[in-house]
Each structure stands twice: as C-alpha cells, then as structure tokens.
Amino acid sequence: MKVSLKKCHFAYGELKALGHVVSGLSLGIDKNKVEAVLLKPMPQAKEEMQSFLGFAGYYRQHIKDFAKILKSLYKLCDQQTVYEMTEERVKAYE
C-alpha cells in the first residue's frame, strides 16, 4: 500500500470524511449532507422512501431510538403495503 502525501492532511482540528465530521474524539454528522436531504420534497413513492431510509440508516448511530421512530416508514416499503403517508408516518419522516 502506498500513501500519497498530496492527499494527506495533517494538524487539522476537524476533518470531513465519508459524510461525518471527525473532531478530536467525537464523530458528528456533516451538516451539508443533512441540509441537502432536508431540501428534497417528501418521498412520493416506495423507491424514494427506500432511498431516504438508506441515507437515514447511514446516520442511525446519531439518532436515538432510530428503529422505533422509523418502523412505520420501513413498513411502508413492504410490497404488500399501499404507499400512503399517514399522520404517524409524516411525523416519523420529520
């Protein structure tokens, strides 16, 4: 394995990597990634919801009770479920 010094960063207080912000011993969410998702309209089809859930799942370690909150949205992606955004699902999405 070779290391390219051009691609290396030294003595930074904060580093953005793979959608996260690494600072000292902490790991946070890159706010630019979250803002990009917030600007998108609410998913109108199962495929769009699956895409959103994939993004949200990447950050699940930062969301307390992730599975419990998004359970109804995962159910919405089931083949036997009709795609309908109920009040409960809208709240979970937000």
Q: Using one digit for the tens of pLDDT, what is the confidence trace for 15-62?
A: 887 788 888 788 888 888 778 777 888 999 999 999 999 988 888 888
Q: What is the mean pLDDT of residues 61-85?
A: 90
Q: Where are the domains of the chain?
A: 1-30, 40-93
Strands (E), 6-86: 15-17, 20-23, 26-29
Q: Do residues 37 and 53 make contact, with C-beta atoms less than 8 angstroms apart? A: no
Q: What is the mean pLDDT of residues 11-17?
A: 81
Long-range contacts of 52-60 (CB under 8 A, 24+ apart): 52/93, 53/77, 58/19, 59/19, 59/29
The amino acid at residue 68 is K
Q: How does residue 75 score in pLDDT terms, banded at 50, 70 and 90?
A: very high
Q: What is the pTM of this model?
A: 0.70
